[in-house]
Structure 1
Amino acid sequence: MTQTPSQDIAELISRCALRDRAAFRLLYERTSAKLFGVTLRILRDRSEAEEAVQEVYVKIWQRADRYVAGTTSPISWLVAVARNHSLDVLRARRPPSDDIDEAIDIADSGPSPERATQDNQQRGQIENCLGTLEPDRADAVRGAYLDGYSYEELASRYAVPLNTMRTWLRRSLIKLKDCLSA
């Protein structure tokens, strides 16, 4: 009875657990391309992936006795070792987190409470002044200056000629300026 490739690899892993160097060499020859692909896909750096594969095979040699045939496919077990090692390498790349005391000295880039209050008041004042415009004119102003619609898009939306839209917006801005300065 011939063995399947999966059974062959399971047997090689079992022989590696017994410290059979020839089995380890065969295991490496048959599976290193696959494990290199796994590490390269995760690490995205060829030289780092090559180094990681070597470290993965050291782990396989040291932990071959942990593989239990029949519970998982031998390739799945090998891929899991490679994947976990690659993820450990990624985690090690991250800089260590700074001390919390240093974070206290980082300036808040947001507005100060006073500035936030002023902004809210100005926003309310602008909304009140927009309320004094005709609804379609106020919507056109919001569309042009808050939502970024072009004059052409607004003219099309309101079914008016382009020059009429320009006039609407110019007159509406004059009314808003007068309202805000009052």
Structure 2
Amino acid sequence: MATRDEIDTWIARCALGDRAAFQNLYDHTSAKLFGVTLRVLKDRSEAEDALQEIYVKVWKGAKRYATGGASPMTWLITIARNHAIDRLRARKSTEGDDALAFMPDKGPGPEAQAVAASEAQRVEACFDTLEPDRANAVRRAYLDGDSYADLARHFDVPLNTMRTWLRRSLIKLRECLEG
């Protein structure tokens, strides 16, 4: 299997129209993507057809791939999986009135997933700059919905101290994310 950096480079070169890079990308990733499509479609012939269509999407969509986020294999596998599911839905819609076949996938696409993963990594890295109890207090306050009073009791500090912790921690997170 090729390294993440090699695959990143091949995708970037595909965006520039480099056919040799596309060949390398195909040679090193097609077996994995074929396995993904075969698992979803459960039909070897259809999976082979889908694989060709997937690589057309990769070739055309390489310009939208952003390095630094999710791994390039995650991006490729997401494209393959979504394409295979779309084919499965199309197959089911011709076989009968399956309500799921007509429901669009409302989840984020591969590009949005890659961006979200990159942003999540940045936020986690900034949380790591906080003291553990401060980071825990921020998570509990803004992700779990704990009140200032609940947090003050949990961390055994005065209420105003908790407010100060949270305010200073948010300022430090904002500076980290902007910097």
Q: CA RMSD in A?
A: 1.4
Measure the CA separation in 1 of the matches of 2:93 and 2:77: 27
2:12 alignment partner, one of 14, 18, 36: 14
Percent identical among aligned pairs is 59
Q: Measure how far apart 1:95 and its partner are.
A: 2.7
1:90 aligns with 2:88: yes
- Any stretches of 5+ residues in structure 2 without a counterpart? 98-179
Letter in 2 for 1:78: L
Measure the CA separation in 1 of the matches of 2:93 and 2:84: 17
Provide the TM-score with structure 1 as the length reference: 0.50
Q: Measure how far apart 1:62 and its partner are.
A: 0.3
1:55 alignment partner, one of 53, 56, 71: 53
Counterparts in 2 of 1:89-108, with a 5 A limit? 89-95=87-93
Larger deviation, residues 17-26 vs 89-98: 89-98
Measure the CA separation in 2 of the matches of 1:28 and 1:71: 21
- Any stretches of 5+ residues in structure 1 without a counterpart? 99-182
**Residue of structure 2 equivalent to 1:173:** none
Counterparts in 2 of 1:24-39, with a 5 A limit? 24-39=22-37
1:44 aligns with 2:42: yes
**Residue of structure 2 equivalent to 1:126:** none
Aligned length: 95
Provide the TM-score with structure 2 as the length reference: 0.51
Letter in 1 for 2:40: I
Q: Secondary structure at the match of 1:95?
A: helix
1:5 aligns with 2:3: yes
The list of structure 1 runs, each at least 4 consecutive aligned residues, that deviate by more than 3 angstroms after superposition, is none
Counterparts in 2 of 1:123-134, with a 5 A limit? none
**Residue of structure 1 equivalent to 2:68:** 70
CA deviation map 1:56-111 (0-9, x unaligned): 0000000001110011100000000000100100110123676xxxxxxxxxxxxx
**Residue of structure 2 equivalent to 1:158:** none
Measure the CA separation in 2 of the matches of 1:57 and 1:41: 18
Measure the CA separation in 2 of the matches of 1:63 and 1:95: 27
